[in-house]
Amino acid sequence: MQPGSYCVFNPTSSVAIALLQGISIDDLSGLNLSGVAIAGAITTENLGVEHLVKNIIANPHIRNLIVYGREIPGHLPGDALLKLSEKGIDSTGRIISALGARPVLKNLTQVEVNHYRSQIQLSNRIGQHDLMLLDTHLRKLRDCGFPPFESGLRVESVETRKAEPAMRLKLDRTGWFVIMVMHGRKLPLVVEHYTNDGVLRNRVEGRDAASICATIIEMKLVSQLDHAAYLGRELAKAELSIAPKQPYIQDKAQGLPNDEGQGDPMRGS
């Protein structure tokens, strides 16, 4: 399955539901979903459509797609789905006649799109938000008893790799950081930058993690991707502790330093 905000109900059922604005998956809890294979939110006219198509064509039991809810301004994913079913894509991957900001499907092949268009009958319920109307439509589709499509299609364009923790840590030549949260201050996030021999060189203060990260990058205080990732992760965690006034404790980075004698617990990375 492709990643996304969806729930799988009965994989052998024939209906999928694409939810636009105004309707969430939780809102469907009072309906009879025995005839629904999968339902989920779609918010974009490109990546959202790509994930939806890949999930549907991998399951030949799904023969109907209901597009339900209020259209999302700018992106118009509902319109993108309608135009994809009606007209397909051109040689550049653009959904023909779609009106959204960027309805270009760079991660779907023509074979996948053709398979999707042959497999799926689309029900246009854009603009509707009455769940009783949706329930009535689901009941009608259950009564029709659509047979499975001739086959499923699954094409993996990238290899999925299981995430593993870092085994070794190489200290950044630019130094390391101590992150503190000073509750009650106008600029509660405080970051001190030290050289690798422990000399304080810089101090950055701010209200949010994004601004501090941007400033640190502009000052060229990080030179390694793993260090930048660690810093962003810790600053985000620190920012989340501000509103509830909870204590923040800076974690060390994953892995051990090449020189274990330099393993100062305050370095983090």
The structure tokens listed for 80 are 């993108």
Q: Give the pLDDT band of residue 261 (cuts 50, 70, 90).
A: very low
Which two structure tokens, joined as six digits, stand for 131? Answer: 């769940």
**157 band by pLDDT with thresholds 50, 70 and 90:** low
97/104 Cα distance (integer angstroms): 11
Torsion of CA 233, 235, 236, 238, to 10 degrees: 120
pLDDT given for residue 110 in this prediction: 96
In the chain, the amino acid numbered 261 is: G
Q: Give residue 163's pLDDT.
A: 86
* pLDDT class of 227 with cuts at 50, 70, 90: very high
Q: Is the pLDDT of residue 256 over 70?
A: no
pTM of the model: 0.72
- Which residue has 């939806």 as its token pair? 52
β-strand pairing of 176-181 with 189-194? antiparallel
pLDDT in tens, 26-39: 999 999 999 999 99
Q: What is the pLDDT of residues 65-112, one digit of tens each?
A: 999 999 999 999 999 999 999 999 999 999 999 999 999 999 999 999
Task: Return the pLDDT at 262.
Answer: 37
Instruction: Kindly tell me if the per-residue pLDDT of 167 is higher than 90.
Output: no
Q: Residue 2: which pLDDT band, with cuts at 50, 70 and 90?
A: low
Give residue 1's pLDDT band: very low, low, confident or very high (50, 70, 90): low
Q: What is the pLDDT of residue 168?
A: 79
Share of the chain above pLDDT 70, in %: 92
Give the pLDDT mean for 38-61: 95
- Residue 147 pLDDT > 70, yes or no? yes
Helix pair 47-57, 77-87: axis angle to 10 deg: 50
- Confidence grade of residue 269 (pLDDT, cut at 50, 70, 90): very low
120: which residues sit within 8 A by CB, 6+ positions away? 56, 62, 63, 64, 65, 85
